[in-house]
Chains A and B, each alone.
Chain A
């Protein structure tokens, strides 16, 4: 039994292809059941986000399974295989384990360290559990993946610094004000940019929004969206006295706010700190305003630069995380090998024991006059023969760490002694239950 993952992500496929292959939420259950019905697959789980589409599964014959999964993708989405085949990646066993660990730890994300992916994997797993397409191996694999993701968060600083412009702005606000709660924001301009920035600050905890705009009506309509207040453009200075954060994004060609004007406002504010975010191009606020005490002025380039620096830092932390992932992969693979070996050993022992019992009974029934002591001797002798015969093959199996040789031994033993694949048995049982 091998782990297998087939899929594509933001690195291997353009958005047009990813869109076509994405599984809509309402179609996910149907897709899971269809994959489950593929002859080669035993367990499966589907991850579908805007940056990746992946099917995880376990199969005895990897090549066959891969072929069937590709066909399934093409059939399900009604897209010829040749249109997307070279965007797909196929990973098996150890590589597949490493892949899911990296994905869950957000090392494979477009923005490395972004936290959403873990939740997306969790919900994909949840669905697979509900539909009962995940079994013992995926179960263990996913739980380890969540554990690895947790370790990466705790032991590296990968998710500690914000990497998007809006989250940098929120973080800066917190470095100035400690918290955004009970803070008032003034929006200068009523465009989309202002609206977006305001949404982020509100999500960050900001309490109240004031909006000012040259066209007063638009200020009113945006203000009502946030249950805020509109301020007349001529009364902007009165607004500045009341707020803690100012976001400016008008299309004015000249500076709207000047050094002397803000210096005077600061005096009236009794020097209470104020945070200006100028996201307009060309800029709305004279850069000299930033020199005034207790005034913090950031324009869009400043925010972008902080975000870029943080992205570089994440790269450093990502290297630490990679070695952590590697360590966990080794741990998982060791468990996984033991999982393959144990049922084979049990089955082999059971088979020999069964033969021994049957033959012993035959012999004993031919000699009813044997004493209890003689019967026990025969019992002991036959047991000893079996143990001696099995000793060296079982030792070999248990000691084998190499994946390829373990598989070879397991397959040979099963073929030589006619033992059925334990997993196949289980799957047949499952399928019978599904279609009564």
Chain B
């Protein structure tokens, strides 16, 4: 059942991405409305996929790479819907649904079976840890997209072109504001993700912190975002610098999530496939 919903979701995200790309090229309002509806249906189906899998597995279904990728994509679309309703930035859909689609397609290729739960994952803290960690990751994906859009738009304005691209992207002010706001929301999520992870580690392995690659890298990511936040608040870092930092920060986030699992051996390797 959950696999069926997963497949339906993937199909809707594919359609949503295509229509959102059609929107950014044509700027026809109809495409934007259709895309939003498609993505909304996709999100509902995704929610059902998650809930049915939760029931079928009997535990929070974020225990292997397939589940994690799908959960990550679900959070990203959720964040998009919230931001869209608040700010009505349509082109954001073209960026965020594309990212979510890529994650879904990756998840699609991985084994989808529900496996018996590894003893170490049987913890009260596990659901909190994954929700905070992925909420943080999803919000940083938004920060990343804003950063990319900012750099493109800034380049257009500096090179004195006001053409097709500039017309399609939001103003620098909106992009920079969103960069900052998503940072102030994402950073506490990341912090909570690390704290709940540490508490869980205490229960599972009898220590809060053990410099396992996942722990190390998430700390590096945390310091990175902390530095960005600090610079923004004190020195007035904004615009271009903040956009570049958001992009680098996202790459660190991705490495913490995927790179560590796939490349470095460590305690998180149960979520390899």
Answer yes or no: do A and B interact. yes
Could you list 23 examples of A-B contacts with CB < 8 Å?
A: A171-B162, A172-B157, A172-B162, A174-B171, A175-B157, A176-B157, A177-B172, A177-B173, A178-B171, A178-B174, A270-B235, A270-B236, A271-B236, A271-B239, A272-B236, A293-B239, A293-B240, A296-B158, A302-B160, A305-B160, A309-B162, A309-B163, A313-B163
Please determine whether B237 and A271 come into contact, CB atoms closer than 8 angstroms.
yes
Please determine whether A273 and B172 come into contact, CB atoms closer than 8 angstroms.
yes
Q: Is B141 an interface residue (CB 8 A)?
A: no
Q: Which residue of chain A lies nearest to B239 when distances are taken between CB atoms in the complex? A: A294
Please determine whether B153 and A298 come into contact, CB atoms closer than 8 angstroms.
no
Please determine whether A175 and B239 come into contact, CB atoms closer than 8 angstroms.
no
- The CA of A272 and the CA of B238, in the complex, are separated in Å by 8
Q: Is B27 an interface residue (CB 8 A)?
A: yes
Q: Is B167 an interface residue (CB 8 A)?
A: yes
What is A's interface to B at a CB cutoff of 8 Å? Answer: 157, 160-161, 168, 171-172, 174-178, 270-273, 290, 293-294, 296, 298, 302, 305-306, 309-310, 313
Please determine whether B171 and A176 come into contact, CB atoms closer than 8 angstroms.
yes
Please determine whether B171 and A177 come into contact, CB atoms closer than 8 angstroms.
yes
- The CA of A433 and the CA of B236, in the complex, are separated in Å by 77
Query: What sequence of 0s and 1s flags, for each residue 137-175 of chain B, a beta carbon within 8 Å of any chain A beta carbon?
Result: 000000000000000010001101111001100111110
Query: What sequence of 0s and 1s flags, for each residue 238-255 of chain B, a beta carbon within 8 Å of any chain A beta carbon?
Result: 111100000000000000
Please determine whether A175 and B238 come into contact, CB atoms closer than 8 angstroms.
no
Please determine whether B162 and A178 come into contact, CB atoms closer than 8 angstroms.
no
Of the residues A168, A171, A176, A271, contact of B238 by C-beta under 8 Å: A271
Q: Which residue of chain B lies nearest to A291 when distances are taken between CB atoms in the complex? A: B158
Q: Which residue of chain B lies nearest to A295 when distances are taken between CB atoms in the complex? A: B158
Q: Which 7 A-B pairs have the closest CB atoms?
A: A270-B236, A178-B171, A178-B173, A306-B162, A271-B236, A302-B160, A175-B171
Query: What sequence of 0s and 1s flags, for each residue 159-196 of chain B, a beta carbon within 8 Å of any chain A beta carbon?
Result: 01111001100111110000000000000000000000
- Minimum distance in angstroms from B209 CB to a CB of chain A: 37
Which B residues touch A160, using CB under 8 A?
167
Q: Given the interface contacts A270-B236, A271-B237, does A176 sit within 8 Å of B162 by beta carbon?
A: no
Which A residues touch B162, using CB under 8 A?
161, 168, 171-172, 175, 306, 309-310
- The CA of A369 and the CA of B170, in the complex, are separated in Å by 92
Which A residues touch B236, using CB under 8 A?
270-272
Counting chain B CB atoms within 10 Å of each CB, the highest count among A160, A175, A178, A298 belongs to A175
User: Which residues of B216-273 are within 8 A (CB) of A?
Assistant: 235-241
Q: Which residue of chain A lies nearest to B238 when distances are taken between CB atoms in the complex? A: A271
Which B residues touch A176, using CB under 8 A?
157, 171-173
20 additional A-B residue pairs with CB within 8 Å, beyond A161-B167, A174-B171, A306-B161:
A157-B27, A175-B153, A175-B157, A175-B172, A176-B171, A270-B235, A271-B239, A272-B236, A272-B238, A273-B239, A293-B239, A294-B240, A296-B157, A298-B160, A302-B160, A305-B160, A306-B160, A309-B162, A309-B163, A310-B162
Which A residues touch B240, using CB under 8 A?
293-294
Which B residues touch A272, using CB under 8 A?
236, 238
- Minimum distance in angstroms from A169 CB to a CB of chain B: 11
Please determine whether A175 and B160 come into contact, CB atoms closer than 8 angstroms.
no
Which A residues touch B238, using CB under 8 A?
271-272, 294
Which A residues touch B167, using CB under 8 A?
160-161
Query: What sequence of 0s and 1s flags, for each residue 29-41 of chain B, a beta carbon within 8 Å of any chain A beta carbon?
Result: 0000000000000
- The CA of A121 and the CA of B53, in the complex, are separated in Å by 64
- Minimum distance in angstroms from A286 CB to a CB of chain B: 16
Which A residues touch B174, using CB under 8 A?
178
Which A residues touch B157, using CB under 8 A?
172, 175-176, 296
Which B residues touch A174, using CB under 8 A?
171
Which B residues touch A306, using CB under 8 A?
160-162
- Minimum distance in angstroms from A243 CB to a CB of chain B: 16
- Minimum distance in angstroms from B236 CB to a CB of chain A: 3
Which B residues touch A177, using CB under 8 A?
171-173
Query: What sequence of 0s and 1s flags, for each residue 4-42 of chain B, a beta carbon within 8 Å of any chain A beta carbon?
Result: 000000000000000000000001000000000000000
Which B residues touch A273, using CB under 8 A?
172-173, 239
- The CA of A298 and the CA of B240, in the complex, are separated in Å by 19
- The CA of A55 and the CA of B6, in the complex, are separated in Å by 66
Which A residues touch B237, using CB under 8 A?
271
Which B residues touch A296, using CB under 8 A?
157-158
Q: Which residue of chain B lies nearest to A160 when distances are taken between CB atoms in the complex? A: B167
- The CA of A293 and the CA of B157, in the complex, are separated in Å by 12
- Minimum distance in angstroms from A175 CB to a CB of chain B: 5
Which A residues touch B166, using CB under 8 A?
175
Counting chain B CB atoms within 10 Å of each CB, the highest count among A160, A171, A178, A270 belongs to A178
